[in-house]
Structure 1
Amino acid sequence: MFEGLKPLPQDPILQLMQQFREDPRQDKVDLGIGVYKDAAGHTPIMAAVREAERRLLATETSKGYVGPAGSAGFNDAMAALILGRDNALRRDGRVSVVQTPGGCGALRMAAEFLRLCRPDTTVWVSNPTWGNHRPLLGGAGLAIREYPYLDPATLEVDFEAMLEALAQARAGDVVLLHGCCHNPSGADLTLAQWRRVTEVILRRGLLPFVDLAYQGLGEGLEEDVAGLRQLAAEVPEMIVAASCSKNFGLYRERTGALMLICASPANREAATSQLLSAIRSHYSMPPAHGAAIVETILADDGLRRQWQDELGAMCQRILGLRHALADALAPAGDFGFIARQRGMFSFLGIGPDQVRRLRETHGIYMLESSRVNVAGLNEQTLPVVAEAIRGVL
């Protein structure tokens, strides 16, 4: 049965991780893997998460199944976090949220749901976009098309080209948007641009699908969903895939949520039943621990404040690193776009040969595309990395 299988090429990010681990140099720097790192170079467990886990261990009485939709308390808390506590869509019964195994699970189950709605669904994704978008969505049988997003010359949003491409989309096509902290570019839409995208979506009869993986790590919890909320208030239907990996630091707990915004409560009921049937046929029900942590934090005013303070400090640290890196690279050219962008990632705009020289000569690891995880820097490594980059330029 297995003898005819051929090995597949390794994922570029996983390959880079392996190369970094095998590098014996003590001064090597990892700017490739997309996880937040503190000033000491560690991916920490947030204090609010530790306390929530302590409480769970002291009070949990069962490891019974949670059901295909997951925890109702978690789902309600995530709806409030994304849309706001006093949101008209929630009051009107148009919102449904299910717990998923991470943001990846949310994206894949959204794709399976869309295939049930219309087997020939086409999803438009940005160029560039996160490397796993295509496998997760296309793997469910959806057709994938691209819209231009990043101008390779300026490394800023090529907004007019984006609108021109979306104006060619057919009614019923799906548009995948990054809610904030665009991965891999860090170049986000302004609120004014969100309004114009909304106009195109309404005019063309498109379905918006927002991937929200970094809420709170761009400019703040509320600021990072301003565009999403503006869009949600205008359209009849919408999908949101949310991840708790970055903003709660729950990477390995695989905690996410999938939100459907429907035209009416009756439509929400039908859509939710179809989504739950798809979930049941795939992984049956999600893991409970990470969602229980998030639910515990968001339900307790003290823990929530502690979490928000920690998340705010992480956000400000990333913003500070962005400005410091742009300043340190200034002698080699205009890198101001790094300071203007948001979230963990940016492209440096250098070539594969320069990326290879940084890795081989200086032990600085990044993707061949020159995408760097800004959060992988600290006060000690930033000047070293900046000097090496200036050298290869």
Structure 2
Amino acid sequence: MLSNLTPQAPDKILMLIEEFKADTRQGKIDLGVGVYKDPQGVTPVMRAVKAAEQRIWEAQTTKAYTGLAGEPEYRAAMARMVLADVPGDRLASVASVGGTGAIRQALELARMANPGLTVHVSDPTWPNHLSIMKFMGLPFLEYRYFDNATRGVDFEGMKADIARAGKGDVVLLHGCCHNPTGANLTPGQWQEIVAMLDKSGAVPLIDLAYQGFGDGLDADAEATRLVARSLPEVLIAASCSKNFGIYRERTGILMALAGTTAARDLSQGAMAYLNRQNFSFPPDHGARIVSTILTDDALRADWQAELEDVRNTMLGLRDQLAAELRSLSGSDRFDFIAHHRGMFSRLGATPEQVQALKSDAAIYMVGDSRLNIAGLNRDTVPVLARAIIDAGI
């Protein structure tokens, strides 16, 4: 039986990681992998996470299963963080295996509710979005999003394409810090998208993976909160990997906002059922870390302070890189880097130029020219800037 399996295409980012490790050149720079790194190149354990783990270790008396939906305290704390004013009569939620698991469960839930749906997804988007949908056999259409000339949002193209979404379709939106481009909608543009979805009856699925990495914890949730306030049905997949730095704990949540209490109860039951079918009980350690932090004033304050340091570090690197490139190029054509938000920016370089950066300067980024700003520090920014100019980008 197993000999009948066919080889799977390797993940390009994982391949890039291995290629970087094998490169023996001094001064090589990894801008490919999508994890936060401090100026020393380390993905640190946050202070509040360490403190929360200590408390859990001291107090925990069992490793027995939690509920199918996860611990209520975690789900409530995450709902408050994402939505602020929690509409309890509309909200169903389950803990998930990371943000990726939440996306998968959201798509499973949507297909259960409407087997004939089409998913509308930005071009470009996080590659795993497409991979999951292809594996599930879900039909999808891409909507225009990134303007390679301006390195901003092609909003008119986006609206024209989203207008194709019908009642019961799903429109997958990035809540903030768009991956892979770093280009985000303005508040006014979000209002227009909400009006379009309200008119068509399409259901938004918001991928909120970087809350706190862009303009601040609450500011980054504003678009999601607007959508939640404005539309009767909303799906939200949130991740704790980045803003709590607990990548390996696989901590996420799927929230569903329904139009009626009865629909909320149906959603809650279906989501718990999907958890049972796919992995039975969700992982608990990361969720318990998060709920411990979010429900303790001192721990939450320390976590938010460290998260702000992370955010401001990335903003500082953006400003420095844009300034270096402005000086070297004698133009403002790279100023978009300072305007983008989150860990990523898309340079708009050709695959050949990306290859030249790797071959000539030992600078590694994804082939579509997505670079991880957090892979830089103040010393490597000038190196990257010079390499970008030398590559003719």
User: What's the TM-score once normalised by structure 2's chain length?
Assistant: 0.97
How does 1:122-133 map onto structure 2 within 5 Å?
A: 122-133=118-129
Cα distance in structure 2, aligned partners of 1:95 and 1:293: 23
| Map of 1:337 onto structure 2 | 336
How does 1:187-226 map onto structure 2 within 5 Å?
A: 187-226=183-222
Cα shift readout 1:224-264 (whole Å, capped 9, x = no counterpart): 01111111111000000000000000101000000000112
Aligned-pair CA distance for 1:137: 3.1
Cα distance in structure 1, aligned partners of 2:76 and 2:27: 45
Cα distance in structure 2, aligned partners of 1:145 and 1:257: 25
Contact 2:93/2:271, CA 8 A, preserved across alignment? no
Q: Which amino acid aligns with 1:322?
A: R
How does 1:102-113 map onto structure 2 within 5 Å?
A: 102-113=98-109
Structure 2: 5+ residue stretches without partners: none
How does 1:280-319 map onto structure 2 within 5 Å?
A: 280-319=276-315
| Map of 1:381 onto structure 2 | 380
| Map of 1:134 onto structure 2 | 130
| Map of 1:359 onto structure 2 | 358
Aligned-pair CA distance for 1:5: 2.7
Q: Which amino acid aligns with 1:288?
A: D
Partner secondary structure for residue 143 of structure 2: strand
Aligned: 1:12 with 2:12: yes
Q: Percent identity?
A: 48
Cα distance in structure 1, aligned partners of 2:350 and 2:157: 24
Aligned-pair CA distance for 1:352: 1.3
Aligned: 1:39 with 2:35: no
Bigger mean CA offset, 330-339 vs 121-130 = 330-339
Q: Which amino acid aligns with 1:350?
A: A
Aligned: 1:73 with 2:53: no
Aligned-pair CA distance for 1:26: 2.8
| Map of 2:240 onto structure 1 | 244
How does 1:136-175 map onto structure 2 within 5 Å?
A: 136-175=132-171
Structure 1: 5+ residue stretches without partners: none
Partner secondary structure for residue 233 of structure 1: helix
| Map of 2:115 onto structure 1 | 119
Cα shift readout 1:171-225 (whole Å, capped 9, x = no counterpart): 2111110000000000011110110000100111110110000000000011001
User: What's the TM-score once normalised by structure 1's chain length?
Assistant: 0.97
Cα shift readout 1:136-179 (whole Å, capped 9, x = no counterpart): 23433321111100111111100011111111221211111000
Contact 1:120/1:142, CA 8 A, preserved across alignment? no
Cα distance in structure 1, aligned partners of 2:241 and 2:364: 22
Matching residue within 261, 265, 275 for 1:265: 261
Cα distance in structure 2, aligned partners of 1:328 and 1:76: 44
Cα distance in structure 2, aligned partners of 1:7 and 1:201: 40
Cα distance in structure 2, aligned partners of 1:142 and 1:119: 9
Aligned: 1:229 with 2:212: no
Give the superposed CA RMSD: 1.0
Bigger mean CA offset, 331-340 vs 300-309 = 331-340
Contact 2:170/2:202, CA 8 A, preserved across alignment? yes
Cα distance in structure 2, aligned partners of 1:2 and 1:142: 26
Cα distance in structure 2, aligned partners of 1:79 and 1:141: 30
Q: Which amino acid aligns with 2:91?
A: V
Cα shift readout 1:294-342 (whole Å, capped 9, x = no counterpart): 0100010000000000001111111111111111112324101111110
Aligned: 1:368 with 2:358: no
Cα shift readout 1:261-307 (whole Å, capped 9, x = no counterpart): 01122210111111111211111111111001001000100000000
Partner secondary structure for residue 245 of structure 1: coil
Cα shift readout 1:322-366 (whole Å, capped 9, x = no counterpart): 111111112324101111110000111221112111111211100
Aligned-pair CA distance for 1:115: 1.2
Matching residue within 94, 101, 104 for 2:90: 94
Q: Which amino acid aligns with 2:4?
A: G
Contact 2:95/2:252, CA 8 A, preserved across alignment? yes
Cα distance in structure 2, aligned partners of 1:158 and 1:376: 27
Contact 2:347/2:371, CA 8 A, preserved across alignment? yes
Contact 2:52/2:293, CA 8 A, preserved across alignment? yes
Partner secondary structure for residue 96 of structure 2: strand
| Map of 1:22 onto structure 2 | 22
Cα distance in structure 2, aligned partners of 1:366 and 1:65: 41
Contact 1:181/1:187, CA 8 A, preserved across alignment? yes
Cα distance in structure 1, aligned partners of 2:382 and 2:41: 15
Contact 2:30/2:363, CA 8 A, preserved across alignment? yes
Aligned-pair CA distance for 1:94: 0.6
Partner secondary structure for residue 25 of structure 1: coil
Contact 1:179/1:211, CA 8 A, preserved across alignment? yes
Contact 2:97/2:283, CA 8 A, preserved across alignment? yes
Contact 1:75/1:98, CA 8 A, preserved across alignment? yes
Q: Which amino acid aligns with 1:159?
A: F
Cα distance in structure 2, aligned partners of 1:130 and 1:359: 22
Dislocated runs of 4+, deviation >3 Å? none
Bigger mean CA offset, 289-298 vs 277-286 = 277-286
Q: Which amino acid aligns with 1:266?
A: A
Contact 2:351/2:368, CA 8 A, preserved across alignment? yes
Cα distance in structure 1, aligned partners of 2:81 and 2:133: 25
